[in-house]
Chain A
């Protein structure tokens, strides 16, 4: 009974996927192992690090704290859906590259998904707002300075 499968249909980056999932399958593992969208990274698996952040029905959430079975009929965006195409990065991605906002890159997908919604809601943020919005994403390489600069640059470019 406990390994009962649940039929779900979920929209990820605009594509509908229908799958059978076990109740205990975490959304983060569903994205990585079932849909082979391994851009969503798994860090701590208890909601602290933010690496697994995806956009669920328009809001950034921890995918390690949701079950795949909960996403039936819902809409998810992951880092794979961020760039318009292979040659055109999202302004946030481009700015992270231009400002050296990443080193190892493990935390980057979670930060990008957090900041995408943040900039949509706060198009003209000050540094304090950016740091507050970033507070749920751990980065052990950069010291955050270049990430903050990248978000500022992306905001500037996106306002034009």
Chain B
């Protein structure tokens, strides 16, 4: 229950951190909040040769305005800061609603959004939310930077599109548009445990009160975060009622491939995905109507 030996470096600048990553590649890991990485190191499931501690790099933390109606969240922004940031509830309601489900206060005091997204746990809330929102992520290396769409970022379980020399710098997310409603719901065995299933829904209405766009995403429903393409598309252009929601929930159930565990069989996860999709879509639709 103690980590294997490694070289610890507290990064003084972003350039130094990127240079070290360029030199050591997969042998080196960035240490952000450490709330997922350190447990695996304590179990010796992960044995990096080097930890590049980016916690001293305060410039990587914080919420700022991006291009247009978008917000940028720095990789080192801790969940606790998001809980307290006045921009979160009005502009990123999905995140605001998901935060209490993310582990416990002590974990949220350390855990960072960038660390979480780079870790890419399929059961984790934030990858599903960033995917549902259609966000994009900025990766940087000593050679340069690039933006990666969320749809291309999450490759599989604990796997992202980041190259061995790249660091995730920030994530850019659209602000909730007018006439829209969002809802995040999750089922877990105990408060703060990993999700059995989590569902994120967004509904945006047109002037006539019909659905202009719906987006549905799930966590712990496959090898990575899942965007329910067909279910989302099925709602566009329609007035959302019980039948439309029921149809979308069925499409979600047929689209996902949950892994099953000792806590919940695949069949049960699929059932819960249907129930939560129904509830979350209903709520998101109500909220969109309230905002219209």
Residues of A within 8 A of B (CB): 1-4, 6, 22-24, 26, 29, 45-47, 50, 53, 56, 59-62, 64-67, 69-70, 72, 114, 118, 132-133, 135-137
Q: What are 17 residue pairs bridging A and B, where the CB atoms are less than 8 Å apart in the complex?
A: A1-B7, A2-B5, A6-B8, A47-B35, A47-B103, A47-B107, A56-B109, A59-B110, A61-B109, A62-B35, A65-B38, A65-B110, A67-B8, A69-B10, A118-B105, A135-B104, A136-B107
| CB contact list, B171-203 vs A, under 8 A | 190-192
| CB contact list, B91-113 vs A, under 8 A | 100, 103-107, 109-110
CB distance from A4 to the nearest CB of B (A): 6
Residues of B within 8 A of A (CB): 1-8, 10, 31, 34-35, 38-39, 42-43, 49, 51, 53, 55, 80, 100, 103-107, 109-110, 190-192
Q: Who on chain B is nearest to A69 by CB?
A: B8
In the bound complex, what is the Cα–Cα distance between A26 and B37 (angstroms)?
A: 13
Instruction: Please determine whether B35 and A65 come into contact, CB atoms closer than 8 angstroms.
Output: yes
The 3 residue pairs across chains A and B that have the minimum distance between CB atoms: A136-B104, A23-B8, A2-B5
In the bound complex, what is the Cα–Cα distance between A115 and B30 (angstroms)?
A: 31
Set of chain B residues within 8 Å of A70, measured between Cβ atoms: 10, 31, 53, 55
With A23-B51, A46-B43, A114-B105 known to touch, is A136 a contact of B192 (CB < 8 Å)?
Answer: yes
Set of chain A residues within 8 Å of B3, measured between Cβ atoms: 24, 26
In the bound complex, what is the Cα–Cα distance between A54 and B42 (angstroms)?
A: 18
Set of chain B residues within 8 Å of A118, measured between Cβ atoms: 105
Q: Who on chain A is nearest to B43 by CB?
A: A46
The main secondary structure of chain B at its interface with chain A is loop
CB distance from B3 to the nearest CB of A (A): 4
Starting from the known contacts A47-B103, A62-B110, A67-B38, 13 additional A-B residue pairs (CB-CB under 8 Å) come to A23-B6, A24-B8, A47-B38, A59-B109, A64-B38, A69-B8, A69-B10, A69-B53, A70-B10, A132-B100, A133-B105, A135-B190, A135-B191
Set of chain B residues within 8 Å of A47, measured between Cβ atoms: 35, 38-39, 103, 107
CB distance from A6 to the nearest CB of B (A): 6
Set of chain A residues within 8 Å of B105, measured between Cβ atoms: 60, 114, 118, 133, 135-136
Instruction: Please determine whether A60 and B5 come into contact, CB atoms closer than 8 angstroms.
Output: no
The main secondary structure of chain A at its interface with chain B is mixed
Q: Who on chain A is nearest to B37 by CB?
A: A65
CB distance from A80 to the nearest CB of B (A): 19
| Residue from A4, A26, A50, A66 in contact with B7 in the complex, judged by beta carbons closer than 8 Å | A4
Which among A23, A26, A29 has the greatest number of chain B C-beta atoms within 10 A? Answer: A23
Q: Who on chain A is nearest to B80 by CB?
A: A59
Instruction: Please determine whether A65 and B6 come into contact, CB atoms closer than 8 angstroms.
Output: no
With A4-B7, A22-B5, A136-B104 known to touch, is A60 a contact of B38 (CB < 8 Å)?
Answer: no
CB distance from A146 to the nearest CB of B (A): 20
Instruction: Please determine whether A50 and B53 come into contact, CB atoms closer than 8 angstroms.
Output: no
CB distance from B58 to the nearest CB of A (A): 12
CB distance from B41 to the nearest CB of A (A): 8
Set of chain B residues within 8 Å of A135, measured between Cβ atoms: 104-105, 190-192
In the bound complex, what is the Cα–Cα distance between A60 and B53 (angstroms)?
A: 20
In the bound complex, what is the Cα–Cα distance between A97 and B134 (angstroms)?
A: 52
In the bound complex, what is the Cα–Cα distance between A114 and B191 (angstroms)?
A: 17
CB distance from B82 to the nearest CB of A (A): 14
Instruction: Please determine whether B6 and A132 come into contact, CB atoms closer than 8 angstroms.
Output: no
| Residue from B2, B10, B190, B191 in contact with A24 in the complex, judged by beta carbons closer than 8 Å | B2
Set of chain B residues within 8 Å of A66, measured between Cβ atoms: 34, 38, 110
CB distance from B107 to the nearest CB of A (A): 6
With A64-B42, A70-B55 known to touch, is A23 a contact of B5 (CB < 8 Å)?
Answer: yes
| Residue from B2, B34, B49 in contact with A65 in the complex, judged by beta carbons closer than 8 Å | B34
